[in-house]
Amino acid sequence: MGALSPSAALLLLLAGMASPARAYESDQVTARQDPPAEALAEANAHADELLADAVARTNEQTHCEGDDDHIHEVLAREIHHQTGERVYVPARGEQPPMGFGAYAAWLEMGPIDRDSHGDRDDLYRAVRFLSDPILATFGPASTITLAGQLVGTDKIDHFWIQGFDYFRRSRQGEDPLRAVAWGTRTERGMWGLGTTGVFSFADLAANYDGLRFYDGLLSEDSILRRGPDGCVAQVEPWDWARWIDWRYDEVLNPSVFRRALAPGLRAGLDEQAPAFCAEGQARALVAVGPWVGPDAPQDGDRKLVTLQDLCLDAVQARR
């Protein structure tokens, strides 16, 4: 094979950085104009399929023997494997293939409605390559409607994949603040501001809920419990409505952006969601909650902007 051109090599590097979807962003702004149909029933059913595989593999490996801590560890690992194994989603319109965890990849390709932005009709379409190569090249993950909320498919990877990372970094749930602090730092660095130029508080919310899910396995509140024979069984169907709320929506739980992205974002708002600011849909930053660590950006940081800042600037410019 001949040497790769500089542009081809860069795209391969970006593909590695942006896969799985923890290094992607999502766009719940343009999806508000024509929201996708509710995907809850189909998404729940597919989660049940993967959880059944994880339970079967856990029982096979452990022979239903051992203490709860051991079974818990094996079960968590198997769920992470079943839901988070890397899968590449074929190119959508102008976008190159995008890597996701197995469950989120199914959301990107399965029989549900979604706003996939394949023709780059998204908030980030005007962001220039030199300002942000990942957003300019790959665009955002799809947005779906799940339990009544607009949710990026990247958030579901955050739940399954980063939730498992949180579980391990919290010493199997013993020190959740340790995991939250780590997750906030990485969102400020390699999985957020440092790569895509976006710090997503919604990512942190999904990470934290994933920790809660993995930490609660086998408990009385879990849908996965051990029976009298020692084997793990699923005692209730999976339901995303138990987890998904406003915190997963990047409009209701606003992200912050590097100021260098402001011109592209402003253009994206004008082109793709011209009524967004006029209808007052932008929200003020609410950087609070147990899922947000001390290194999170603070309101008023002059190096960062929010969609509300951009909307206010537009109003002042018209005066």
pTM across the whole model: 0.92
pLDDT of residue 213: 98
Residue-by-residue DSSP string for 22-64:
GG--B--SGGGTSPPPB-HHHHHHHHHHHHHHHHHHHHHHHTT
Query: Per the structure block, which two tokens stand in for 143?
Result: 């947005």
Is the per-residue pLDDT at 120 higher than 50? yes
Which residues, 6 or more positions from 212, have their beta carbon under 8 angstroms from its beta carbon?
Answer: 163
Alpha-carbon span 121 to 115, nearest angstrom: 10
Summarize pLDDT for 160-215 with one digit per residue, the tens: 999 999 999 999 999 999 999 999 999 998 878 888 899 999 999 999 999 999 99
Is the per-residue pLDDT at 92 higher than 80? no
Tell me what the mean pLDDT of segment 264-285 comes to: 93
Cβ proximity of 310 and 266 under 8 Å:
yes
- H/E stretch holding 145 reads strand 143-146
Residue 176: what residue type? P
Cβ proximity of 160 and 50 under 8 Å:
no
Is the per-residue pLDDT at 144 higher than 80? yes
In which band, very low, low, confident or very high, does the pLDDT at 258 lie, cut at 50, 70 and 90? very high
Cβ proximity of 250 and 295 under 8 Å:
no
52, burial (CB in 10 Å: exposed 0-12, middle 13-18, buried 19+): middle
Cβ proximity of 121 and 36 under 8 Å:
no
Phi first, then psi, for residue 233 (nearest 5°) are -140, 150
In which band, very low, low, confident or very high, does the pLDDT at 132 lie, cut at 50, 70 and 90? confident
pLDDT of residue 2: 43
Alpha-carbon span 261 to 266, nearest angstrom: 9
Is the per-residue pLDDT at 138 higher than 60? yes
- DSSP letter at 141? B
Summarize pLDDT for 10-44 with one digit per residue, the tens: 444 554 544 455 568 999 999 999 999 999 999 99
Alpha-carbon span 59 to 234, nearest angstrom: 12
- Taking all residues of the chain, what is their mean pLDDT, rounded to a whole number? 90
